[in-house]
Amino acid sequence: MRGFSSFACIDWSGAALARPPGIAVAQIGVEGPPALITPDPHWSRADISGWLEDHADTQSDILIGMDMSFAFPYEDKGGYFPEWNDSPPNARSLWALVDGLCADDPHLGASGFLKHPQGRRHFRHAKGNIGDLFEGSIGRLRRVEHHQRTTRQANSWSSFNLVGAGQVGKGSLTGMRILHQLNGRIPIWPFDPVPDTGPMVIEIYTSMAARAAGLPAGRSKIRSRIALEMALAALGYDTPELLAHYDDHSTDALITAAWMRNMAGNPAIWVPANLNSQIAATEGWTFGVI
């Protein structure tokens, strides 16, 4: 497995704001503790897009994790959106569809997709508004999410759910716009092979890093320096410089960047037994799930 000279975690947000406070970025090199990258006053999604483009331009040797789902469930129904004639055949076509339907949304938002008469049918929306094709109590799951739950490696939610603290649908939709706009300039695993050099983007789930740091399931959010010190120590790292504010977005990013560095050198992480070429092209996979 190739090495990387640095690792970054983007704790993502789908909030309909110009600069969502939920976006945080942490980076770690081959030595030393992780550190936050903190623009003033907050990251915007456009800022993140520009930051990724900069790494594409410089061909930085960096592994970048984004906390979102890179695709919707496909394998269970043989398609993302049953009963929709324009349902895409693969993830890249999905990203293009999402970005196109949301082209008029400010701040790289995703309301255009959720307002579409066919798109909205598949989601659980706020205020008890449930699309007629939303399934079950938690919604449809990708193969990696079924596997996470079965093996208890994680407990991720359906990306078709837009309600509650664990919802990831809005963030995933906005993130798909970013992935499309990268236009192949940075390889995205597992949709693309791992390059010999340069940057690569992966899907991560920050709760997996929290569990590896010894935090219990359901209580993985850290909002104090002492708790951050303990979590990073469990991963083998010193604590970074004092933060201006210990919010769970910043601490999630710091812990996950450190965890990524620990995990990236394990060859088994890159060839999960349940990941095949069809899943790699349609649903993707969460880094660290084996």
Q: What is the mean pLDDT of residues 61-65?
A: 98
At 154, is the pLDDT very low, low, confident or very high (cuts 50, 70, 90)?
A: confident
**pLDDT at position 136 over 90:** no
**Does residue 165 register a pLDDT over 90?**
no
pLDDT at 270 over 80: yes
Please write the tens of the pLDDT for every residue from 208-265.
Answer: 999 999 988 766 688 899 999 999 999 999 988 888 888 999 999 999 999 999 999 9
pLDDT score at 221: 81
Alpha-carbon distance values, 66 to 3, 37, 134, 137 (Å): 19, 15, 25, 26
Please report the pLDDT score of residue 219 as a whole number: 67
Residue 218 is predicted with a pLDDT of 67
Domain ranges of the chain: 6-68+185-269
70-98 pLDDT tens trace: 999 999 999 999 999 999 999 999 999 99
pTM of the full structure: 0.96
What integer pLDDT is reported at residue 220 of this predicted model? 66
If 0-12 CB within 10 Å is exposed, 13-18 middle and 19+ buried, where does residue 15 land? middle
Residue 64: the pLDDT is 98
pLDDT at 95: 98
pLDDT at 41 over 90: no
| Mean pLDDT, rounded, for 169-196 | 97
Q: What is the pLDDT of residue 229?
A: 94
DSSP per position, the chain: ----SEEEEEE----SSSS-TT-EEEEEESSS--EEE--SS---HHHHHHHHHHHHHHT--EEEEEES-SS---TTTTSSSTT-TT--SSHHHHHHHHHHHTTT-GGG--HHHHHSTTGGGGSB-STT-B-TT--TTT----HHHHHHHHHTS--PPPTTB-SSTT--HHHHHHHHHHHHHHTTSS-BTTTSPPPSSS-EEEEE-HHHHHHHTTPPTT-----SHHHHHHHHHHHT----SPPS---HHHHHHHHHHHHHHHHTT-GGGGS-TT--HHHHHHT---TT--
